[in-house]
Structure 1
Amino acid sequence: MADFDPPATQEEDRGRHDLPQDPQSDGQSDPPSVKAAPDNKAKSKRPGNARDEDLRPAPAIRTGGPAPNLGQSRQAYAAIDLGTNNCRLLIARPSGENFVVIDAFSRVVRLGEGLAQTGRLSDEAMDRAVAALKVCADKLRRRNVHLARSVATEACRRASNGEAFIERVRTETGIALDVISAQEEARLAVLGCHVLLEQGEGPAMIFDIGGGSTELVLIETGEGAVPRILDWQSVPWGVVSLTESFADGAGSLDRVQRLDRYRRMRRAVRDSFADFSERLDPFRDMPARDPPRLLGTSGTVTTLASLHLGLPQYDRRAVDGLIVPATAMRDIARDLSSLDRAGRQELPCIGRDRAELVVAGCAILETILDLWPAEKLGVADRGIREGILRSLMAGARLGDANRALARRERAL
């Protein structure tokens, strides 16, 4: 779902995570936690509360091997997120109510390349994705993973040959991809990163700028472990789809043309959020003790946060959980939109692979800042994969509790 990965060393083998990685030692004062209670599931695109019957853990898929003892912390869980631009894997073991990452993988596969023009996944794009998923399948076997969930998002939802691709993946890799809805995508993103949201009262906004779509989720935090979803929206603008819809002439535009392109991008994104913006009016006008809170999970926000910090290379521990002034992010976005592609490539934490897509991400980000005018922006280098892991572990923990209760009842 995320748009693009910041640079990483040994990207094909380790992704952006140092291994092994303990969420409790990643520099955050509030490490990710997994509660036994089911988590919230996003509702339809209308204001209101999620229904209790929708608060179920996501389904688990067994990947082989003997039936695991879910009560043991050595059990490995895995999450695969195949997005429009990236293929990502995370493997972890429970550690109390948290989890420890034992393996990770990330590769840019550009699955949605050309989709905006043809409506199909190209043969080359599918080949790249299958090759990456074969690496994931090998890691699942080597780590003896028993419980996993593998999801595909906007590119597979939109492509006319998406179903054929899903079957090819199953045949060649053994991985059963679940093409999830935008609603489920939003729910998992919130579940994966909401612990990084600033403390405060009143509604808060969490967003994910993806490769083929962007999700915004309005939440209410309270005493529960998982926030309540008030409203949400998904639009088919991500960094890949927006870039391909507003071509830059292979990077040949002059400065005036680049700025005009950026304005047209922003206008398109703003128009797509028009209905959602109207639904937000009552929440924006609601008197609150605390200013609006905003948290973003995507390669766009982590890359811009890296530029804000002046990092020579991407450092997840410095970025994940960072709070940045919104004005600083706007300034960086506008500076990037005025540079040509060669100029963007020279900047640390962008490079050649991200120079083409980052302007579209900036256009989406600035439009979100207009929509929900927070003074500060929280930055999360976590999302769908972490949300899947939490949901799997919560479901397993709930299953353990139910089995223990059944044993006690039989003993009576």
Structure 2
Amino acid sequence: MHPHPRIAAIDLGSNSFHMLIAKATTRGYRIITRHRQKVRLADGLTPDLTLDDAAIERGIECLKDFAQRLAHYQPLQIRCVATATLRKAHNRKQILKRFERALGSPIDIISGMTEAGLIYQGATLELARPDSAMLVLDIGGASTEVIAGVGTEPHVLKSLDMGCVVWQNRFFAGGMISAARFAAAVAAAAEQIRPLATTYQAHGWQTVCGASGTFRGLQDCLRHYRADAMSAEFIRFCMEESIKQGSVDALPAIGVREDRIAVFCGGLAILVALTDNLDIKTVDLAQGALREGLVNTMLNERKRSLA
């Protein structure tokens, strides 16, 4: 058995598909390459929860590309997981067969709780001290994970039925931005968060970190405005500035990258509701997310098998 094998972790998210290929080392792992492709799977989820052909084809094309990259790097172990959109899709069995054929590897549709645990693990690998109380937020395309823990151990895990793609389509259809649309989006997110507030606040945290594209989008805004921190005030400021633009197409004016504008307001509305209802003061950008958690899990399983 190779002492330092290459391993691949693939995350089929509702907004983006991610692939991370890493090499095991004596201290953990070293990332060889990572790839991300906007597939926007959740865009294809119809009202009757069937995933449409266009979204399926976008997924297949991405997975064919991933398969070519896997053939080049030849990892010893590959693990691929799918999240909220495929959890919801009534035609997931047929989709899974086609996706597995395109990738050439098995795909697991994981539960919201499993997803939350992997996200927490990936987000806290670099940030956490053993005694540090953490809150991790991940605003995906069709679900939002909120996880409180200590160090790298999650204690309270929730996967909420809302995400940046779903919220964008529901509240910002046609790319129009207004105060009324944001108010409705924030209120709908708050309905899901409010019942959990006491539980999370009782746990407490010293650090809050965000592990998804919404937070990377806000990091771009921070640089644009030369602001110091992703504070609750700055997050609300970005909402007000987005409203002033009036249209998704104008969001680059506040620092949002072109590849993030399509779902930025949906994610931002959810984040405003999170900061308001959980009384979050500031958010750090996490260094890892689900795929890093997946790599770490694979390495731990390998260590146990070699012990």
Question: Structure 2 length normalisation: TM-score?
Answer: 0.91
Q: 242, 251, 267: which one pairs with 2:167?
A: 242
- 1:311-330 alignment to 2 at 5 Å? 324-330=230-236
Residues in 2 aligned to 1:281 and 1:393: alpha-carbon distance in whole angstroms: 33
Corresponding residue for residue 48 of structure 1: none
Aligned: 1:79 with 2:9: yes
- 1:220-299 alignment to 2 at 5 Å? 220-221=150-151, 226-227=152-153, 229-248=154-173, 250-252=174-176, 258-283=178-203, 292-299=206-213
Corresponding residue for residue 289 of structure 2: 383
Q: 58, 61, 64: which one pairs with 1:128?
A: 58
Residue identity matched to 1:159: A
Corresponding residue for residue 184 of structure 1: 114
**1:310 aligned counterpart, secondary structure:** helix
Corresponding residue for residue 27 of structure 2: 97
What is the identity percentage for the equivalent residue pairs of Structure 1 and Structure 2?
24
Number of aligned residue pairs: give it: 305
Corresponding residue for residue 17 of structure 1: none
Normalized per residue, the structure richer in helix is 2
Residue identity matched to 2:162: W
- Report the CA distance between 1:200 and its aligned residue: 9.2
Task: Decide whether aligned partners of structure 1 residues 323 and 390 sit closer, same or farther in structure 2, where only a CA change above 3 A counts.
Answer: farther
Corresponding residue for residue 140 of structure 1: 70
Residue identity matched to 1:293: T
Residue identity matched to 1:276: L
Task: Decide whether aligned partners of structure 1 residues 374 and 381 sit closer, same or farther in structure 2, where only a CA change above 3 A counts.
Answer: same
Question: Structure 1 length normalisation: TM-score?
Answer: 0.69
Decide whether the 8 Å contact of 2:138 with 2:146 is kept in 1: yes
Residues in 1 aligned to 2:265 and 2:130: alpha-carbon distance in whole angstroms: 31
**1:93 aligned counterpart, secondary structure:** strand
Residue identity matched to 1:191: Q
- 1:3-402 alignment to 2 at 5 Å? 69-70=1-2, 72-73=3-4, 75-115=5-45, 117-197=47-127, 203-221=133-151, 226-227=152-153, 229-248=154-173, 250-252=174-176, 258-283=178-203, 292-310=206-224, 324-339=230-245, 340-351=247-258, 353-401=259-307
Task: Decide whether aligned partners of structure 1 residues 374 and 113 sit closer, same or farther in structure 2, where only a CA change above 3 A counts.
Answer: closer
Residues 180-189 or 268-277, more deviating:
268-277
Task: Decide whether aligned partners of structure 1 residues 165 and 186 sit closer, same or farther in structure 2, where only a CA change above 3 A counts.
Answer: same
Residues in 2 aligned to 1:177 and 1:376: alpha-carbon distance in whole angstroms: 36
Residues in 1 aligned to 2:248 and 2:62: alpha-carbon distance in whole angstroms: 27
Decide whether the 8 Å contact of 1:302 with 1:379 is kept in 2: yes
Decide whether the 8 Å contact of 1:243 with 1:360 is kept in 2: yes
- Report the CA distance between 1:196 and its aligned residue: 4.2
Decide whether the 8 Å contact of 2:143 with 2:159 is kept in 1: yes
Residue identity matched to 2:110: I
**2:125 aligned counterpart, secondary structure:** helix
Larger Rg: 1
Deviations 1:12-55 (A, max 9, x none): xxxxxxxxxxxxxxxxxxxxxxxxxxxxxxxxxxxxxxxxxxxx
Task: Decide whether aligned partners of structure 1 residues 381 and 120 sit closer, same or farther in structure 2, where only a CA change above 3 A counts.
Answer: farther
Deviations 1:153-201 (A, max 9, x none): 0010001111110011223331211000000100110111113446596
Residue identity matched to 1:377: V
Task: Decide whether aligned partners of structure 1 residues 160 and 270 sit closer, same or farther in structure 2, where only a CA change above 3 A counts.
Answer: same
**2:280 aligned counterpart, secondary structure:** coil
Residues in 2 aligned to 1:172 and 1:252: alpha-carbon distance in whole angstroms: 36
Decide whether the 8 Å contact of 1:337 with 1:359 is kept in 2: no
Task: Decide whether aligned partners of structure 1 residues 281 and 348 sit closer, same or farther in structure 2, where only a CA change above 3 A counts.
Answer: closer
**1:273 aligned counterpart, secondary structure:** helix
- Report the CA distance between 1:116 and its aligned residue: 5.1
Residues in 1 aligned to 2:215 and 2:257: alpha-carbon distance in whole angstroms: 12
**1:121 aligned counterpart, secondary structure:** coil
- Report the CA distance between 1:346 and its aligned residue: 4.2
Root-mean-square deviation (Å) = 2.3
Decide whether the 8 Å contact of 1:197 with 1:378 is kept in 2: no
Task: Decide whether aligned partners of structure 1 residues 276 and 129 sit closer, same or farther in structure 2, where only a CA change above 3 A counts.
Answer: same
Residues in 1 aligned to 2:108 and 2:180: alpha-carbon distance in whole angstroms: 39
In the alignment, structure 1 segments of 5+ residues that lack a partner are 1-68, 285-290, 313-321, 402-412
